[in-house]
Amino acid sequence: MERRMKLGDYLVAYLKKIGVSHLFGIPGDLVINLFLKFGRPQGLKIITLSHEPGIGFAADGYARSTGSIGVICVTYGAGGHNMVNPVAGSFSERVPILVISGGPGEEERKLGVLIHHQAKEIESQLHIYQEVTCAAQIIDDPAHAARDIDEVIRSIWLNQQPGYLEIHRDMVEREITVPGEILSWSGDLPYPQSDRHKLDEAVRETAARLDDAQHPLVLVGIEAYRFKIAREIVKLVEKIGAPCCTSVLAKGAFPMNHALYMGVYVGAVSPPGIRRRVERADLIIGLGMFLTDIEMGGSQPPEALRHRSIWAVENRVNVSFHTYTDVTLRDFVRGLMRARLKRHREKIVYHDNLSQTPANPARRVRVADVLREINRFLAHEKTFFVVAESGDSLFGGIDVKVGGRGLYLAQGFYASMGFAVPGALGAQIGTRLRPLVLTGDGGFQMTGAEIAHAPRYKLNPIVVLLNNGGWGIFRPIAKRHDLLALPSWHYAELARLWGGRGFRVATVGQLGRALEQAAQSADFALIEVAIAPRDLSPVTLKYIRASAKKAAITTRA
């Protein structure tokens, strides 16, 4: 980085200074100069896919799995607007993403004609992105450009949410001055800071309540993972000696094989052992967890969560009915680690929603068998991580147990279909671990063709595709099944044509063998599993039953 630089060169140098190594993008004429700058030999590794949503989910998967900022470059209008859905998902699930868009230059804007890719106003795209980012700016003033870029990127890190930079094409070569403090800065981005006094008191009060409690329980939420405090939370849970569950969105934030891990809490539709233990708790410590309808299993939060809890989330700690503002999760966890805490002892059992009866290998495979077979496979394959797609696979994935680092990715709240395959590609680029993707046919038909890029980047996910011929999750509640049908692609054959291995299985034994063969292959693999149209995962079935009961109560009332 130098005192006088071209704006485009400054942006590349800034990203390298903060440790960015990859950029995900698709070019267009309004961004091509900047895009090519990123791709220079001393620049970043460029990852291109076929469609912007694929790029957005790949960058999100990269950021989720590595904890670093996922950088995206798109063209203005057609590209930028195509990217909105993945970025909205990153926003609501707190994934740090930087979107860089090109745009028309000043002279062409003055011509008085509409410019290609324009929707309403030139600023319309900025306004759209203001809704799904924590900071969004058009960089149009060379005097402030260096600081404006710095401000957006710092905000991404402080909030762990996407930010947006629009750089019109005539700005890329403009000379700017880089302020001294950015030149001499180490490149370390700061986390939010706590108020010392409030922090100390929040920790004191929590320690006192833990002292009084007989049956405390810890719920770990997604902020634990995003704010890189998950490992210290493991130590804290060990220090307290209390059982621990993760939320749906935070599955993977606590090691699934840990002796104090009970499983995933999904409110009313949790495994009965988890639901009872949460309801029996006289103190719940929520670490980085958002209360959402999915996390509560579609029901009201139980009394223990509402009245006997301490919640640390969004830079606040709520103790019963009062709030300490300006206390970050990182500082709160570290404060509790330093405090004297009563040690509890409890024998904990891991719970899922699967019966453990081994299936006859010759039997036609059901969704629950797929989950059991995946668990059997993952128990001895330690270098895999799992990505679950929205649809029945999202709820099915709750019962998947990943060993090793236990990396598990799913859009557990925003739940956009199309995330899993490109998300897995981005995450393998970031971690070099091998992905196992669990997806429905509908989710795969949205973005699954991006797997054709896997050989270019030496990526080799194993995709387990539950083919039930449509949007199966809605069948129990819809009379018109024809409205939910999808054409059945020749998935296994497509996988072979795209350079991978393809399998089509119908029995439990065939699935087990296909997984083993896929694992031995260096290429990506797709295992199409023929699923009966009405078959669904255990958690989805519980959800549907719970909603039907609720609907019946409402009708009667």
Ligand X SMILES: Cc1ncc(C[n+]2csc(CCOP(=O)(O)OP(=O)(O)O)c2C)c(N)n1
Task: Name the residue among 335, 344, 346 with its Cα closest to residue 287.
Answer: 335
Query: Rounded to the nearest whole angstrom, what is the least distance from the CB of residue 352 to ligand X in the complex?
Result: 19
Judged by CB under 6 A, does residue 412 bind ligand X? no
Q: Which is nearer to Mg ion, 28 or 418 (CB)?
A: 418
Taking CB under 5 A as the rule, which mask of x and - marks residues 146-165 in contact with Mg ion?
--------------------
Residues 6+ apart with CB under 8 A from 524: 451, 454, 455, 459, 460, 461, 462, 463, 495, 499, 500, 501
Identify what 390 binds: ligand X, Mg ion, none; CB under 5 to 8 Å per kind: ligand X
**What DSSP state is assigned to residue 485?**
B
Q: Checking DSSP bridges between strand 216-220 and strand 283-287, what pairing results, if any? A: parallel
Identify what 473 binds: Mg ion, ligand X, none; CB under 5 to 8 Å per kind: ligand X
Q: Rounded CA gap, 199 and 355, in Å? A: 44
Q: What are the CA-CA distances from residue 125 to residues 73, 78, 138, 292 (Å)?
A: 14, 10, 10, 29
What is the number of other CB atoms lying within 10 angstroms of the CB of residue 52? Answer: 23
Judged by CB under 6 A, does residue 82 bind ligand X? no
Q: What Rg value do the Cα atoms of the chain yield, rounded?
A: 24
* Span 94-133, contacts to ligand X by CB under 6 A: none
Q: What are the CA-CA distances from residue 157 to residues 23, 95, 151, 161 (Å)?
A: 17, 9, 10, 7
Query: Closest-CB residue for ligand X?
Result: 440
At position 537, the amino acid (one-letter code) is: S
Residues 6+ apart with CB under 8 A from 186: none
Tell which one of 295, 441, 528, 535 touches Mg ion (CB under 5 A): 441
Judged by CB under 6 A, does residue 442 bind ligand X? yes
Task: Name the residue among 448, 540, 550 with its Cα closest to residue 494.
Answer: 448
Q: Which is nearer to ligand X, 8 or 442 (CB)?
A: 442
Judged by CB under 5 A, does residue 468 bind Mg ion? yes
Query: Rounded to the nearest whole angstrom, what is the least distance from the CB of residue 57 to ligand X in the complex?
Result: 11
Map tokens 């800071």 to a residue: 193
Query: Rounded to the nearest whole angstrom, what is the least distance from the CB of residue 472 to ligand X in the complex?
Result: 3
Q: Which is nearer to ligand X, 317 or 370 (CB)?
A: 370
Query: Rounded to the nearest whole angstrom, what is the least distance from the CB of residue 127 to ligand X in the complex?
Result: 22
Task: With contacts defined by CB under 6 A, name the span among 5-13, 25-33, 345-353, 385-393 that binds ligand X.
Answer: 385-393
- H or E stretch including 225? helix 222-226
Judged by CB under 5 A, does residue 537 bind Mg ion? no
Query: Rounded to the nearest whole angstrom, what is the least distance from the CB of residue 557 to Mg ion in the complex?
Result: 34
Q: Which is nearer to Mg ion, 202 or 438 (CB)?
A: 438
Q: Which is nearer to ligand X, 381 or 441 (CB)?
A: 441
Judged by CB under 6 A, does residue 471 bind ligand X? yes
Judged by CB under 5 A, does residue 440 bind Mg ion? yes
Interacting residue ranges for ligand X, rule: CB under 6 A: 390-393, 415-418, 440-443, 466, 468, 471-473
Interacting residue ranges for Mg ion, rule: CB under 5 A: 440-442, 468, 472
